[in-house]
């Protein structure tokens, strides 16, 4: 049977925040009772009285609380059993997130302390970080200005920048541990260029560096590539993102247009 608290003592109402919506909880002898109107708002239940009618009498009661300046307004509150009855029968997308919030934050707090504390200690102020989608957009705007960088690598660079700013890797949010390597028929690796000329990939790199002056050796660079283009090499080469061996992580690899063969041909080794 529903009961109304009419004493002059203000009930212990504790406001919580779920995704920007206020969810008020009443501490009754160490047990949480939830303001039905707040729960219905989160679950997008338009008719709170109808929702209350679906609950057993021992799952609901009524108390008089101050609501938006209206003193002694009668408000229905529901216990944990009633709460789950509404949450588990809801098909709204927020229901799953609401359930997780209750089970991972609210209920553990009750079990740890034995009850809600009306005078909860203030939470330390957290440094506000930009939303990861906003940070990612800003980082993409920056890397878009970088010349001769593969589009995949630009995304990876922006993802790393976003993680440094927000602690969230947008690629992992979408289920990508690494981007697949991009294939470009118009660009070749040193090994591919050396085929048909009798040259190894190592020898091709040596020629492009020491003879053609199209690249310089940069071992241990932040990009992961051992070679970087010189100003002379910019019209011929391009950096591409490629997955590391084993598929873990990515690195850059310098590839070349077939036209660089003109620099390699004088050093070709005739086939036996």
78 and 15 within one domain: yes
Rounded mean pLDDT of 4-16? 54
Q: Does 19 score more than 90 pLDDT?
A: no
* One domain, residues 17 and 103: yes
Say yes or no: 50 and 95 in one domain: yes
CATH of the domain at 78: 3.10.260
Sheet holding 70-78, edge to edge: 4-5, 60-67, 70-78, 31-35, 21-28, 13-18
Identify the domain boundary among 82, 113, 144: 113
- Give pLDDT, residue 215: 95
Does residue 169 share a domain with residue 87? no
Mean pLDDT of 139-162: 81
What is the per-residue pLDDT for 244?
A: 61
- Note the pLDDT of residue 270: 85
**What is the reported pLDDT for 148?**
67
Asked whether residue 270 falls in the same domain as residue 208, the answer is: yes
User: Maximum distance among all alpha carbons in the chain?
Assistant: 105
Lowest mean per-residue pLDDT among 63-72, 93-102, 225-234: 63-72
Query: Is residue 118 domain-resident?
Result: no
| Angstrom distance (rounded) from CA 32 to CA 114 | 11
Cβ contact 133:170 at 8 Å: yes
Query: According to the model, what pLDDT value does residue 6 have?
Result: 36
Q: Are residues 217 and 160 in the same domain?
A: no
pLDDT tens-digit series, residues 163-215? 888 888 887 877 776 565 554 557 899 999 999 899 999 999 999 999 999 99
d(Cα 98, Cα 18) in Å, to the nearest integer?
8
**For residue 12, what are its two tokens?**
């212990």
Of 57, 90, 113, the domain-final residue:
113
Angle formed by the axes of helices 93-101 and 80-89, nearest 10°:
150
pLDDT in tens, 36-70: 999 999 999 889 899 899 899 999 998 887 665 55
Structural domains of the chain, count: 3
Show which of 177, 193, 217 is a domain's final residue: 177
**Residues 14/120, Cβ–Cβ less than 8 Å:** yes
For residue range 154-167, what is the model confidence (pLDDT) as tens digits? Answer: 888 888 888 888 88
- Domain of residue 202 covers 178-272
Window from 8-12, 184-188, 252-256, 263-267 with minimum mean pLDDT:
8-12
| Separation between Cα atoms, residue 98 and residue 119, nearest integer Å | 24
252: which strand partners? 241
- The answer on pLDDT for 114 being more than 60 is no
C-alpha span between 216 and 127 (Å, rounded): 43
The confidence score (pLDDT) of residue 163 equals 84
């Amino acid at each position: 049977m529903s009961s109304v608290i009419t004493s002059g003592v203000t009930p212990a109402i504790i406001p919580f925040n779920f995704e920007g919506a206020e969810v008020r909880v009443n501490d009754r002898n160490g047990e949480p009772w939830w303001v039905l109107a707040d729960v219905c708002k989160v679950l997008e239940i338009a008719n709170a009285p109808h929702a209350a009618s679906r609950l057993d009498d021992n799952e609901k009661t009524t108390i008089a609380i101050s609501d938006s300046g209206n003193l002694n307004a009668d408000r229905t509150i529901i216990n944990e059993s009633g709460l789950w009855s509404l949450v588990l029968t809801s098909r709204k997308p927020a229901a799953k997130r609401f359930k997780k919030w209750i089970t991972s934050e609210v209920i553990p707090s009750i079990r740890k302390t034995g009850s809600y504390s009306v005078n909860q200690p203030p939470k330390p102020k957290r440094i506000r970080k930009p939303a990861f989608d906003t940070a990612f957009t800003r980082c993409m705007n920056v890397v878009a200005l970088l010349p001769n960088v593969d589009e995949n690598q630009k995304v990876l660079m922006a993802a790393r920048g976003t993680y440094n700013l927000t602690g969230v890797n947008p690629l992992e949010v979408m289920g990508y541990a690494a981007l697949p390597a991009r294939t470009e028929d118009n660009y070749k690796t040193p090994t591919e260029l050396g085929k048909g000329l009798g040259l190894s990939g190592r020898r091709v790199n040596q020629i492009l560096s020491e003879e053609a002056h199209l690249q310089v050796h940069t071992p241990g660079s932040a990009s992961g590539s051992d070679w970087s283009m010189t100003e002379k090499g910019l019209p011929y080469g391009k950096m591409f993102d490629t997955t590391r061996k084993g598929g873990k992580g990515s690195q850059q690899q310098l590839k070349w247009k077939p036209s660089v063969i003109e620099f390699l041909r004088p050093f070709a080794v005739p086939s036996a």
